[in-house]
C-alpha cells in the first residue's frame, strides 16, 4: 500500500495538513488594510472560521485519500488524487473567496502548478537524500521539509495577487499561465517517463526549480508593473483633479469676494434707507425701492466657519446640493491651517462630491430623505473631518487605500477615496471608510502641527 507504514503515512498526513492550510491562505489572502480595522472579537471570529475551514479540508482530504488508496492502484491513484485536489481548490475559491473571477483563476492555476511541482520536488529530494545520506527517516525528513514550502507558496500568491487592479497586461498573464502549463507538463512527463538514475532525478529537479522560480518571478514582476501603472493613473487623476479644483476654488473665491462686496453695499443701503425713514422722506424712499435690483438672494446653506479657504470650498460644494437633500454641518475650523489650499480643496470636494452623488442615486431609487452630515473640528493636534451620507449599501469593496467604485467604468473612477487617503497620510493622518445602519461614513484625521501655514 502506498500509505502503509509510518514513514509513508506521517509525511502524507502532514502534507494534507499543509495543503489545507495553504488553501485557506490562497482563498482568503493575508491582506490587512489600515481602513479595515477589526476589533478583537471580529478577528477571533474570523480566525475561528478560517481554522474550521482548514480542519474540514483536512478531514475531507484524509478520508478521500485513504479511500482512493484502497480503490486505485498507482499511477491511477496519483491521477485521481491530483484531480481531487484541483477540484477542491476550485470549489473552495468559487464559494468562499472574495476575490474576483480573474484573480481566482490565476491563483488556482498557479497554486495547482506549484503544489504539484513541490510534491514532485519533495519526492526527488527524498530520493537524493536516500542515495547520499541514508534511507528511512532522513528521506521522510527531507520530504517533510519540502512540504513546508506549500503554505509559503500560498502566502506568496495571496500577497502578490492582482485583485486590486482593474486591468492586467495580457502578455504578463500569458507568461504566468504558460509557466503554470509548463510545470504541469513536466509533472505529467515525469509520471509517464520514470527516472532510473540519480542524474535523471537531478535534471528533473533543476528543471522544476527553474520553471517554478520563473513563474514566481513573473507573478511578482506583473504585480509590480500593475502597481506602477495604477500609481501613475492615480497621480494623473490626482493632478487633473487638483487642477480642476484649483480653478474652481479661485472662481468660487471671486464669487465670495463679490458676495462680501454686495453685503457691504447692502449695509450702506440699509443705513441710507434708515436716514430716509427718520427724515420722513417717504417719496424718495419709495423711488429708491423701485430702482433697487431685487434679484440678489443669499445662497442656500451659506457657510461662514471662520476659515476663508474652507468657506470657499464648502460654499462651492453646498451650491451643488439639491433641495431634496438635507445637509447638516458642525464646523469649528481654525482660521489658520497648515495645508495647501489645493489639497484641502481636493480632499473636501472628493468627500462631498461622492456624498452628493450617492444621495442623488438613492433618491432616484425612491429614497425620500437622503442626508449628508459634515463635521470639521480640532481634536488634540489633529483636524477631524467626518462626512456621512445616506446609502443603500450594506458592505464596501476596498481597493488599495480607498473604496472600489460601483460605477460601470471602474478604470476611470474610484480614485477619489484613494486621493483623500494620500492627502491624509501626507499630513501624518489616516482615512477610514465604513458603512453601517444605512450610512456611508468617511473619517479623516490630519495633523495640524508643523508645516507652512495657509489661511
Where among 234, 268, 289 does a domain terminate? 234
CATH code of 415's domain: 3.30.565.10
pLDDT the model gives residue 33: 42
Q: What is the pLDDT of residues 25-74, one digit of tens each?
A: 999 876 544 434 455 666 788 888 899 999 999 998 888 877 777 776 55
DSSP 406-441: -SS-TTSS--HHHHHHHHHHHTT-EEEEEEETTEEE
Q: Give the model confidence (pLDDT) of 336-380 as tens digits.
A: 899 988 788 888 988 998 899 889 888 888 777 889 999 999 988
Q: Which residue has cell 500593475?
A: 226
pLDDT tops 50 at residue 451: no
Evaluate if residue 453 carries a pLDDT over 50.
no
Report if residue 278 sits inside a domain. no
Mean predicted confidence (pLDDT) in 250-270? 62
- What pLDDT, on a 0 to 100 scale, did the predictor assign at position 220? 93
Does residue 322 share a domain with residue 198? no
Q: Is the pLDDT of residue 21 over 80?
A: yes
**Which candidate, 40, 18, 22, 42, places its Cα nearest to that of 30?**
22
Helix (H) or strand (E) holding 108: helix 101-132
What is the structure's pLDDT at 452? 46
Q: 302-340 pLDDT, tens per residue?
A: 678 878 888 888 887 887 787 788 889 899 899 889 998
Q: Which residues contact 123 (CB under 8 A, 6 or more apart)?
A: 143
CA triple 296-298-300, angle to 5 deg? 135
* 204 and 313 share one domain: no
Q: Tens of pLDDT along 402-417? A: 565 555 444 444 567 8
The whole-number pLDDT of residue 286 equals 67
The pTM assigned to this predicted structure is 0.63
- Contact criterion met (CB below 8 Å) for 106 and 98: no
285, part of any domain: no
Query: In this structure, are 134 and 48 located in the same domain?
Result: yes
Q: Calculate the average pLDDT of the chain.
A: 80
Note whether residue 338 is domain-resident. yes
Q: Is residue 350 part of a domain?
A: yes
**Residue at which a domain ends, from 234, 262, 286:** 234
Strands 371-379, 326-331: parallel, antiparallel or unpaired by DSSP? parallel
**Do 430 and 330 belong together in one domain?**
yes
Average pLDDT over residues 173-195: 87
Task: Please indicate, yes or no, if residue 271 is contained in any of the structural domains.
Answer: no
Domain assignment of residue 98, yes or no: yes
Q: Are 230 and 319 in the same domain?
A: no
Would residue 453 count as lying in a domain?
no
Range of the domain at 316: 308-447
Query: Which cell numbers hold the place of 180?
Result: 503554470
pLDDT tens per residue, range 128-164: 998 888 887 888 888 889 999 999 999 999 888 888 7
Domains of the chain: total = 2
Q: 277 vs 301, which has greater pLDDT?
A: 277
312 and 230 within one domain: no
Query: Is the domain of 77 the same as that of 210?
Result: yes
Per-residue model confidence as pLDDT tens digits over 75-95: 566 677 778 888 999 999 999
Domain membership of residue 354 (yes or no) is: yes
Last residue of a domain, one of 206, 234, 262: 234
Amino acid at each position: 500500500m502506498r500509505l502503509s507504514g509510518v514513514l509513508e503515512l506521517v509525511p502524507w498526513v502532514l502534507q494534507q495538513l499543509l495543503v489545507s492550510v495553504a488553501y485557506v491562505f490562497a482563498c482568503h489572502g493575508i491582506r490587512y488594510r489600515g481602513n479595515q480595522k477589526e476589533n478583537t472579537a471580529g478577528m477571533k471570529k474570523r480566525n475561528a472560521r478560517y481554522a474550521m475551514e482548514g480542519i474540514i479540508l483536512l478531514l475531507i482530504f484524509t478520508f478521500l485519500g485513504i479511500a482512493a488508496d484502497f480503490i486505485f492502484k498507482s499511477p491511477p491513484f496519483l491521477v485521481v488524487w491530483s484531480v481531487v485536489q484541483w477540484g477542491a481548490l476550485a470549489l473552495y475559491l468559487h464559494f468562499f473567496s472574495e476575490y474576483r473571477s480573474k484573480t481566482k483563476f490565476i491563483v488556482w492555476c498557479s497554486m495547482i502548478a506549484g503544489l504539484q511541482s513541490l510534491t514532485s520536488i519533495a519526492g526527488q529530494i527524498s530520493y537524493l537524500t536516500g542515495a547520499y545520506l541514508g534511507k528511512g527517516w532522513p528521506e521522510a525528513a527531507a520530504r517533510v521539509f519540502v512540504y513546508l514550502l506549500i503554505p509559503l507558496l500560498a502566502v506568496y500568491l495571496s500577497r502578490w495577487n492582482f485583485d486590486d487592479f482593474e486591468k492586467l497586461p495580457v502578455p504578463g498573464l500569458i507568461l504566468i499561465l504558460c509557466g503554470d502549463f509548463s510545470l504541469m507538463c513536466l509533472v505529467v512527463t515525469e509520471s509517464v517517463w520514470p527516472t532510473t538514475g540519480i542524474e535523471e532525478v537531478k535534471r528533473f529537479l533543476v528543471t522544476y526549480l527553474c520553471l517554478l522560480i520563473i513563474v514566481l518571478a513573473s507573478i511578482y514582476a506583473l504585480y509590480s508593473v500593475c502597481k506602477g501603472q495604477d500609481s501613475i493613473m492615480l497621480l494623473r487623476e490626482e493632478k487633473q483633479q487638483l487642477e480642476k479644483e484649483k480653478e474652481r476654488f479661485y472662481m468660487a473665491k471671486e464669487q465670495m469676494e463679490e458676495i462680501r462686496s454686495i453685503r457691504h453695499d447692502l449695509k450702506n443701503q440699509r443705513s441710507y434707507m434708515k436716514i430716509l425713514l427718520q427724515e420722513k422722506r417717504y417719496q424718495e424712499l419709495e423711488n429708491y425701492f423701485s430702482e433697487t435690483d431685487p434679484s440678489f438672494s443669499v445662497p442656500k446653506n451659506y457657510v461662514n466657519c471662520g476659515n476663508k479657504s474652507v468657506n470657499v470650498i464648502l460654499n462651492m460644494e453646498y451650491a451643488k446640493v439639491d433641495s431634496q437633500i438635507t445637509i447638516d454641518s458642525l464646523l469649528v475650523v481654525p482660521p489658520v491651517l497648515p495645508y495647501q489650499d489645493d489639497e484641502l480643496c481636493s480632499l473636501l470636494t472628493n468627500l462631498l462630491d461622492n456624498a452628493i452623488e450617492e444621495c442623488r442615486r438613492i433618491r432616484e431609487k425612491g429614497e425620500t430623505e437622503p442626508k449628508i452630515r459634515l463635521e470639521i473640528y480640532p481634536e488634540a493636534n489633529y483636524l477631524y473631518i467626518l462626512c456621512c451620507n445616506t446609502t443603500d449599501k450594506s458592505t464596501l469593496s476596498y481597493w488599495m487605500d480607498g473604496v472600489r467604485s460601483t460605477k460601470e467604468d471602474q478604470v476611470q473612477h474610484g480614485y477619489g477615496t484613494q486621493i483623500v487617503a494620500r492627502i491624509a497620510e501626507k499630513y501624518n493622518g489616516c482615512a477610514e471608510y465604513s458603512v453601517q445602519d444605512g450610512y456611508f461614513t468617511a473619517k479623516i484625521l490630519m495633523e495640524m502641527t508643523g508645516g507652512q501655514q495657509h489661511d
